């Protein structure tokens, strides 16, 4: 898989395609129209990559940033940005992909607009439910938002690999340094 899906929902995973937002230079996962088409397939919206153009990519990035602004506002208790809200709702009103039954099983084809509508409707579902627990990954350089469905809502990282593993390994090394057990002894 080219893309990561640690958010627990397509809208949060889509928002997370601009990774490491806290860095001076975040990492863009939607770096080409082809990567957008691939994202739709890997997310499960369609079975095949959707052919996308440069205008489709610009539209998708605009929707992604609107979703991210709304998610950030929800998490900080701020009022939703009106333009972001209008854009997400505009996309959510559009038709979504329609699954078809074929002789070989289920088949879903979609246009870029239908796929974006699917993501926007998911954002409406996630942000419209006050009981959906949203968290930002505790790894210092990660900015992924995820739904915390863990028992007791104790999940800290978007995913164990790589974020949780890095934090746990760093904590282990720090404990070893403090206790003096991190030093290797020479055997003669």
> 101 preceded by cis ω (within 30°)?
no
* Residue corresponding to tokens 């863990």: 150
Task: Quote the pTM value.
Answer: 0.83
For residue 39, the model assigns a pLDDT of 97
Strand partners, 105: 102
For residue 167, the model assigns a pLDDT of 61
For residue 77, the model assigns a pLDDT of 95
Distance CA 52, CA 15 (A): 18
pLDDT tens-place values along the chain, 188 residues long: 788 888 899 999 999 999 999 888 999 999 999 999 999 999 999 999 999 999 999 999 999 999 999 999 999 999 999 999 999 999 999 999 999 999 999 889 899 999 999 999 999 999 999 999 999 888 777 888 999 888 877 777 676 667 756 666 666 666 777 776 655 555 55
For residue 160, the model assigns a pLDDT of 61
What are the two backbone dihedrals, phi and then psi, of residue 136, each rounded to the nearest 5 degrees? -100, 140
Q: Which domains does the chain have, with CATH numbers?
A: 10-179 (1.10.3300.10)
For residue 15, the model assigns a pLDDT of 97
Would you tell me how many other CB atoms lie within 10 Å of the CB of residue 164?
17
Distance CA 158, CA 163 (A): 7
For residue 164, the model assigns a pLDDT of 56
């Amino acid at each position: 898989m080219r893309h990561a899906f640690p958010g627990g929902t397509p809208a949060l995973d889509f928002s997370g395609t601009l990774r490491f937002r806290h860095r001076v230079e975040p990492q863009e996962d939607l770096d080409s129209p082809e990567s957008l088409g691939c994202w739709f397939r890997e997310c499960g919206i369609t079975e095949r990559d959707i052919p996308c153009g440069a205008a489709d990519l610009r539209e998708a990035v605009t929707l992604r940033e609107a979703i991210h602004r709304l998610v950030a506002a929800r998490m900080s208790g701020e009022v939703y940005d009106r333009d972001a809200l209008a854009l997400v709702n505009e996309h959510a009103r559009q038709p979504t992909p329609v699954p078809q039954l074929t002789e070989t099983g289920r088949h879903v084809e979609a246009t870029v607009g239908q796929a974006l509508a699917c993501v926007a409707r998911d954002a409406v579902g996630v942000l419209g439910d006050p009981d959906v627990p949203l968290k930002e990954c505790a790894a210092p350089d990660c900015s992924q938002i995820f739904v915390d469905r863990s028992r007791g809502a104790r999940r800290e990282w978007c995913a164990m690999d790589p974020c949780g593993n890095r934090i746990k390994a760093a904590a282990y090394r720090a404990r070893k340094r403090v206790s003096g057990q991190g030093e290797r002894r020479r055997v003669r």
